[in-house]
A and B are shown apart, each in its own frame.
Chain A
Amino acid sequence: MSQSLRGEYDRQFTQVREDLLRMGTMVDQAIAKALESLQNRDRSLAQRVIEEDEKINDLRFKIEEACLALIATQQPAATDLRAVVAAMSIVVEMERMADHAAGIAKTVILMGDEPLLKPLIDIPRMVKLAREMLQKSLEAYVICDPNEARKIADRDDEMDLLYQAVFEELLEIMASKPGSVQRATYLMWCAHNLERIGDRVTNIAERVVFVSTGDLKELNV
């Protein structure tokens, strides 16, 4: 039962999986660098994050094309088919995550030289959590582990709590110091982008469950 008669399919899909993981690393780095540019107020680094988003977009299309070619030429079925279809969804999620990272970088550029409204505490925590969730979701995809995927989706609650804390704190500052509204809004945008990244990792986790079980359903609703 274990001998594969699908050597060409296996070779092509291995390439898709490797590209997908490479894209994951690029997105992870984009998120890390976006935070670094915010922490260090490094506009040239922020600019690089924005520029490198193009490479991530290109890789997304490359992977999608490879998946289409696989379906058209190799006719995968069952788990194989689900893995290919899931890869097509996952790259879209990752591409949007990179857009969120670029969104933070754009905010950094908008902020100019104005000092930060407050020290960054929860936002770096959100970044750390987002990166962990992303990395673990891709590991779960590679080893096809639905239980791990469900755990990752559950961690989006932590992300939502952090976002809620940032939101409330910034709202309070804005209410008490009307002159701070613009700078508070910048930070709010950053936090919102990170919160959305958490949602997108949850979507990836849903795809991992789909590959493993065939079940299409929302996690962490």
Chain B
Amino acid sequence: MPQMVDDNHTQKMLIQDLNFYYGSLRALNMISMEILEREVTALIGPSGCGKTTFLRCLNRMNDSIPETRLEGDVLLDGEDIYSPGVDVVDLRQRIGMVFQRPNPFPQSVFDNVAFGPRVLGLTGGRGELEAVVERSLDRAALWDEVKDQLKSNALELSLGEQQRLCIARVLAVEPEVILMDEPTSALDPIATLEIEELMRQLRERYTIVVVTHNMQQAARVSDKTGLFWLGELVEFGKTATIFTRPEEERTEAYITGRVG
């Protein structure tokens, strides 16, 4: 059962002693982290530190990579997502993912958002589907921009709009957790701020875990920040604390740019 961490927050995911191996290489080393419901958790760290591998462990995206192995527990609402009975399709509906580069299907805006609900059979008639598409686009702060071009090819949208469309596509299947892997790295500064603003809004309903190379982005959007380094979680805590008075020397060195 999910645990109340304090009066305002419930534990959404709990990761305990997680190890992950690519063949004999240990990419993650005893990671433990508690992710709270309706918070934005940012994962930062240098390239190759394991943050994306960790993110992909949270909805079993690494399952398909050959010769990988995972140890430890990843719990969603107290249930182990790696236990044998778990349906991965159901899991990924509950824990959606947004990628580095926008990857809309070469179809209409409408069909992109409607894709998930159709495949999963989540909606009844056309009217219900239209409502889901509108609601999802609205929650992705895109409805006003695209409501008159729902039949246009999604690839005609700007990159920023495409990324928000991909977020709408995730929202359409009513996820509980949204994983974002450097969601703004392909975007210009304005589109980046739009996505960041969107993340703050989405946090009202969803739990978000975001991997970012942009430390200021982590500082701006997240409630908690975790610093990964060589496969270890060096420090994890409130973002305001991490960016003003980190406890670990390696965190201080990384966020002040004194690494070598």
Contact = CB atoms under 8 A, between A and B. Distances in A.
Interface of A: 1-6, 9, 75-82, 214
B196 to A, nearest CB: 15
Given A1-B249, A1-B250, A1-B253, A78 B259 contact: no
B260 interface: yes
Contacts of A5: 257-260
B244 A2 contact: no
B219 A77 contact: yes
Given A1-B250, A214-B245, A78 B257 contact: no
B215 interface: yes
B235 to A, nearest CB: 11
Given A75-B216, A77-B256, A81-B244, 15 more contacts: A2-B258, A5-B257, A5-B258, A6-B256, A6-B257, A9-B257, A77-B215, A77-B243, A77-B255, A78-B243, A78-B246, A78-B251, A78-B256, A81-B243, A82-B245
Contact of B244 (A6, A9, A214): A214
A5 B255 CA distance: 11
Nearest to A214: B245
Interface residues of B, number: 18
A110 B156 CA distance: 79
Nearest to A4: B258
Nearest to B250: A1
Interface of B: 215-216, 219, 243-246, 249-253, 255-260
A78 B255 contact: yes
Contacts of B245: 78, 82, 214
Pick the 6 closest A-B CB pairs, nearest first: A3-B260, A214-B245, A5-B257, A6-B257, A77-B255, A77-B243
A4 B244 contact: no
Contacts of B246: 78
Nearest to B243: A77
Contact of A3 (B251, B255, B258): B258
15 contacts: A1-B249, A1-B253, A3-B259, A5-B259, A6-B257, A75-B215, A75-B216, A76-B256, A77-B243, A77-B255, A78-B243, A78-B244, A78-B252, A81-B243, A214-B245
Nearest to B258: A4
Nearest to A75: B216
Contacts of B255: 77-78
Chain A interface secondary structure, helix, strand, loop or mixed? loop
B257 A4 contact: yes
Contacts of A80: 256
A29 to B, nearest CB: 35
Contacts of A4: 257-258
A83 to B, nearest CB: 10
Contacts of A6: 256-258
Interface centre among A1, A5, A6 (most CB of B within 10 A): A1
Nearest to A6: B257
A2 to B, nearest CB: 6
Contacts of B244: 77-78, 81-82, 214
B260 A79 contact: no
B221 to A, nearest CB: 14
Contacts of A9: 257
A82 B246 CA distance: 12
Nearest to A9: B257
Contacts of B256: 6, 76-80
Contacts of B260: 1-3, 5
Contacts of A1: 249-250, 253, 258-260
Contacts of A78: 243-246, 251-252, 255-256
Nearest to B246: A78
A5 B245 CA distance: 20
A82 B243 CA distance: 10
A4 B258 CA distance: 4
Contacts of A77: 215, 219, 243-244, 255-256
A5 B251 CA distance: 15
Nearest to B252: A78
Contacts of A75: 215-216, 219
Nearest to B215: A77
Nearest to B259: A1
Contacts of A82: 244-245
B237 to A, nearest CB: 13
A78 B245 CA distance: 5
A84 to B, nearest CB: 11
